[in-house]
Amino acid sequence: MEEVVSIEKATKKFKDKTAVDELSCSIQRGEVVAILGPNGAGKSTTILMMLGLLEPTEGKVEIFRMDPKEKAVREKIGAMLQEVSVIDTLTVKEIIQLFRSYYATPMDFEELVALTGLKKEEMKKRADKLSGGQKRRLGFALALAGDPDLLFFDEPTVGMDITARKRFWDTVKALKEKGKTIIFTTHYLQEADDVAERILLFHKGKVVADGTPHAIKNRLTKQSVSFIENSEVPLDEIRSLAIVSDVYVKNNRVIVVTEQTDDVLAYLFEKRLGVKGIEIEKGRLDEAFEQLTKNKEAI
């Protein structure tokens, strides 16, 4: 394994506001990592520190085992940030060519255009005449211009319509196939779940969960078996089972919270409790996300 990003107890303070709080993480070559979290969690600040555009107040951030400001690092990374500022008086094509000229081995121009979905007529447009979605595509093209090994996207799909969004993620998946390391932020859980193989969940400047979408989901989502309330069912006995984490009654239904729904069902049938209207609820990742970011003790 080759460590591409190493962050050790990095803290970033803006006056007395702590945006990133003793954050540590390590990212290996070829990983696709989603930094997920609500607004203000410190996602962008962390990206800016990895890009060397912000200095940590304390702690250490290294990219390819070097200071992010090193030229050797800059040549191997590309970024699409939340705020795109480009030279407004140039056309899209001119800006792309300019960016390509900064790199020793830029991406082939035609390939770049094909990957980012920029259209012929858009290439002739001046940057200040672009729509929000077109600006995003240009930003994407500029991130890829140097054919970098490591890519950062900060909330890349904001302002994109559904088609553009799908195209963007398809391209990201193709880049992943080429072995690129990709780090992106989002507050859309679905995007993290669909595209990333690892999620770093941020909350108040800290990583509160780190794992595959599947692992995070399994660890955090609650599942339940529910049935119509019935005076013959011994709620206390069910509550005392090791596989059951909670039992409560809601809208005339008994809800049995558990991680092992099959075992709870087996118990109910074995005891011949004659329960009716059985429903199984599988935990949802968006609920887990809400739970996590509301309540840190949940982890």
Ligand X SMILES: Nc1ncnc2c1ncn2[C@@H]1O[C@H](COP(=O)(O)OP(=O)(O)O)[C@@H](O)[C@H]1O
Chain positions contacting ligand X, by CB under 6 A: 14, 17, 19, 37, 39-45
Judged by CB under 5 A, the number of residues near Mg ion is 2
Give φ, ψ of 204 to 5 degrees. Answer: 50, 45
Q: Report, in Å, the least distance between residue 204 CB and ligand X.
A: 9
Q: Report, in Å, the least distance between residue 218 CB and ligand X.
A: 25
- Region binding Mg ion by CB under 5 A among candidate stretches 40-48, 135-143, 158-166, 247-255: 40-48
Q: Report, in Å, the least distance between residue 10 CB and ligand X.
A: 12
Output 116 or 186, the one with its CB closest to ligand X. 186
Output 99 or 153, the one with its CB closest to Mg ion. 153
Output 57 or 261, the one with its CB closest to ligand X. 57
What is the β-pairing status of strands 58-63 and 253-258?
Answer: unpaired
By CB under 5 A, name the one of 44, 116, 221, 258 that touches Mg ion: 44
Q: Report, in Å, the least distance between residue 143 CB and ligand X.
A: 17
Give φ, ψ of 84 to 5 degrees. Answer: -95, 120
Write down the residue that tokens 């500029």 correspond to. Answer: 142
Residue 199 belongs to what H/E stretch? strand 198-203
Q: Is 45 in the site for Mg ion (CB under 5 A)?
A: no
Question: DSSP secondary-structure letter at 158?
Answer: T
Q: Report, in Å, the least distance between residue 104 CB and Mg ion.
A: 31
Q: Report, in Å, the least distance between residue 81 CB and Mg ion.
A: 9
Output 44 or 221, the one with its CB closest to ligand X. 44
Question: DSSP secondary-structure letter at 91?
Answer: B
First to last CA, the chain: 28
Output 17 or 250, the one with its CB closest to ligand X. 17
> Token pair of 216, please?
């995070």
Q: Where are the alpha helices (DSSP H) in 178-253?
A: 189-195, 213-220, 235-239
Output 46 or 221, the one with its CB closest to ligand X. 46
- Region binding Mg ion by CB under 5 A among candidate stretches 36-44, 123-131, 168-176, 197-205: 36-44
Closest CA to 46 of 189, 193, 202, 150: 202
Dihedral of the CA atoms 118, 119, 121, 123 (nearest 10)?
30
Say how many CA atoms lie within 13 Å of 95 toward its Cβ. Answer: 28
Interacting residues with Mg ion (CB under 5 A) = 43-44
